[in-house]
Structure 1
């Protein structure tokens, strides 16, 4: 399973990016969606990588989310405790946006 979190708002974004974010159900900052890992979904995430961070999550974390928030399509999270470690304006590895390996730790800080 892939988790995607909207990090930046999309006020000045292109229309096709806004449409893709809406199709992914990412309508507000710090919204989290859990998606299947399919080529179509991965292509959509690549298109909006300047606005979201995404990566694989463990089944244990998915169960924690369901236990805390219930079964939902979109989870509304808080900003991460301790803040972001890097800039939210740059892609990985210099910034927080794009694909990441340690997605579990970020989501736990945001719960």
Structure 2
């Protein structure tokens, strides 16, 4: 499972890239979504690489993300009571296991809002948001290292 975070804003975005970002549901800076890496998603990430960072999320970060930033309709938090009322899962741990085992996280997270609104990272981005990871920036594929920056953004 891959976490995709939009790092840059909306100014001077080409129409083609804006369409790609809207298909990923990333309309604002510091918003995040979960996707499975398929060839079509990989192409979308490469097309919008100048505005995104992405990488493989681990189970602990996924649990923390759902606990702190997951929302149900009406901006309700993902408490055990709300989960049992609005979803078929009775606890957050059940939901995390189902999302982790699923091929389609959006289907498992159906009543939950698909976009997570994150804050800018605590301490700021340590590198430029205009350069790619390989050139000393934050854009592009982070791999497993994305979990450290996601924990600072949650």
TM score, norm. by length of structure 2? 0.69
- Give how far 1:97 is off: 0.4
Rounded to whole Å, the distance in 2 between the matches of 1:83 and 1:67 is: 23
Question: Which of structure 1's runs of 4+ aligned residues deviate more than 6 A?
Answer: none
Matched-pair contact (CA < 8 Å) for 2:25–2:33: yes
Q: State how far apart, in whole Å, the 2-side matches of 1:67 and 1:14 are.
A: 35
Match of 1:97 in 2: 139
Structure 1, unmatched stretches of 5+, are none
Q: What CA deviation, in whole Å up to 9, does each residue of 1:21-73 have, x standing for no partner?
A: 00000000100101111111111001101001001100221111112233430
Distance in 1 of aligned mates of 2:64 and 2:113: 13
Aligned to 2:130, the other structure's residue is in SS state strand
What is the root-mean-square deviation of aligned Cα atoms in Å? 1.0
Offset, 1:10: 2.5
1:79 corresponds in structure 2 to 120
Report if aligned partners of 1:3, 1:34 keep a CA contact under 8 Å in 2: yes
SS in 2 for 1:49: coil
Q: How many aligned positions are there?
A: 111
Rg larger for: 2
Which residue number in structure 2 is paired with residue 58 of structure 1?
A: 58
Greater strand fraction, Structure 1 or Structure 2: 1
Contact preservation (8 Å) 1:4, 1:33:
yes
For 1:83 and 1:69, the matched residues in 2 are separated by: 19
Structure 2 unaligned residues grouped into runs of 5+: 71-111
Bigger helix fraction: 2
Task: Answer yes or no: is the 8 Å Cα contact 1:10–1:51 preserved in 2.
Answer: no
